[in-house]
Amino acid sequence: MTGPPSATAIVLVCNGPGELTTWVRPLAERLHASLALRPRQPQAATELRLVLVPCPNATGHERQAAERLGLFSSIVPAERFWKLLLRPRRYGPWPARGVVVFLGGDQFWTVLLKARLGYRHLTYAEWVARWPRWNDRIAAMGPEAARRLPSRWSSRCTVVGDLMADLSETARAEAPLPAGQWVALLPGSKRAKLLVGMPFLLDTADRLAALRPGCRFLLPVAPTTTVTELLALAGPANPLHRHYGSSEPRLLEPSAEAPSRWLETASGTRILLVEQHPAHGALSQCALALTTVGANTAELGALAVPMIVLVPTQHLQVMQAWDGWLGLVARLPLLRWLLGVALTAWRMRQRGFLAWPNISAGRAVVPERVGPILPQEIAAEAADWLSHPERLAGQREDLRALRGQPGAVAALAAMVTELLPTA
């Protein structure tokens, strides 16, 4: 750390890749734009830090993804969170005053951290603020989260809106894709999802390209994975590869005609690899997305990109990426296979909506395909959607209606600034 000792700190707390991209990054960028903060201004009196907290839905690569953003003077990885609580000074000198901001994970972790550091505390509450007594302020995503607060704490709460409603505003400024009807392939960011998602979606892309030769494909490379890993999981090294028709793809390196990297399947289907993070500009130009469940459905919804959400359950033994204590038990070495299959099968039978737009609306805004689905079925459904632009436009309008008005990031940044000690 360069410059004089900092007087105050803003500590953003997060858990997984989706929250890091859609909540933490926009807020951090806004704070840097409105305040003098380290590390971008080394002589500033206030620094911006990131603390990652334990979460069964994390990939383990969140620290590396956050480091590439260049927004934080220090990053504490999730595996060191408990040591941070016990001995904060192990991770450098901490200013005596500051603000802890909850942006994902278990809200209780930020209660512990703010108590340990003696900082003020702000929670961004998507659905409910669980510990209002120990929050100085609460930023609610919407009126429903605000209504769930006991009346004695309501004065601490401000409805700021959905942080992801601002995504489309920033996406518009990015470079346009080449002409064509683009379809986004989102196989996931964690290995458990990629094992199924990569061979499934490449097979689907080959079949969709045969049905609609004018289709063009792109695949955003999640910050928690690599092109090398994607290639490995798309080929024979993946035990699930043999269940699908697509052969191992090859990597096309950039050239004068094609400045980006592409995957090319044995059938000749080319898939643009979008390696900048986040990929909102490219995604916002797609006619349709084929995606797994997770935070990516919230991103696509915020960008108003029509989607088909896929949960192929024919490989239950590798689909153990569920949350909660049952998910943790399912990953115990001796019980992993049996409990993992039983847990996932139970979740599939008992499920409500899985995609964030459907959860938010309480109805089926986007189609969810759950079960032993096949690439040929999804390719046929995608081709049908693409041949009916009025249906795509209707889904896009439904998604826009759910998104809300932009401005939540600025409102949340203002609340952080208000809590930051000034003297």
Q: Which helix (H) or strand (E) holds 412?
A: helix 408-419
CATH fold match for the domains 8-161+407-419 and 171-403: yes
Beta-carbon contacts of residue 151 (< 8 Å; ≥ 6 apart) = none
Axis crossing angle, helix 389-403 with helix 295-302, rounded to the nearest 10? 100
Take residue 374 and report the two structure tokens written for it: 């096949």
Distance of CA 242 to the CA centre of its chain: 29
Residue 93, preceding bond cis, omega within 30 degrees? Answer: no
Per-residue pLDDT of the chain (423 residues; tens, 9 = 90+): 456 778 999 999 999 888 888 899 999 999 999 999 999 999 999 999 999 999 877 778 889 989 999 999 999 999 999 999 999 988 778 999 999 999 999 999 999 999 999 999 999 999 899 999 999 999 999 999 999 999 999 999 999 999 988 887 666 556 789 999 999 999 988 888 899 999 999 999 999 999 999 999 999 998 888 999 999 999 999 988 888 876 789 999 998 877 899 999 999 999 999 998 889 999 999 999 999 988 899 899 999 999 999 988 777 655 555 444 445 554 555 555 565 556 555 555 556 788 989 988 889 999 999 888 999 999 999 999 999 999 999 999 999 988 888 899 999 999 999 999 875
Verify cis geometry, omega within 30 degrees of 0, for the bond prior to 278. Answer: yes
- Per-domain residue ranges of the chain: 8-161+407-419, 171-403
pTM given for the model: 0.78
What distance in Å separates the CA atoms of residue 116 and residue 109, rounded to the nearest whole number? Answer: 11
Which of these CATH numbers, 3.40.50.1000, 3.90.1420.10, 3.90.105.10, 3.40.50.2000, describes 8-161+407-419?
3.40.50.2000
Strands 97-102 and 137-140: unpaired
**292-to-91, 109, 301, 329, 390 alpha-carbon distances in Å:** 37, 28, 13, 23, 24
Task: Provide φ and ψ at 9, rounded to 5°.
Answer: -140, 145
CATH superfamily of the 171-403 domain: Glycogen Phosphorylase B; (3.40.50.2000)
Q: What angle do CA 270, 374, 303 make, to 5 degrees?
A: 60
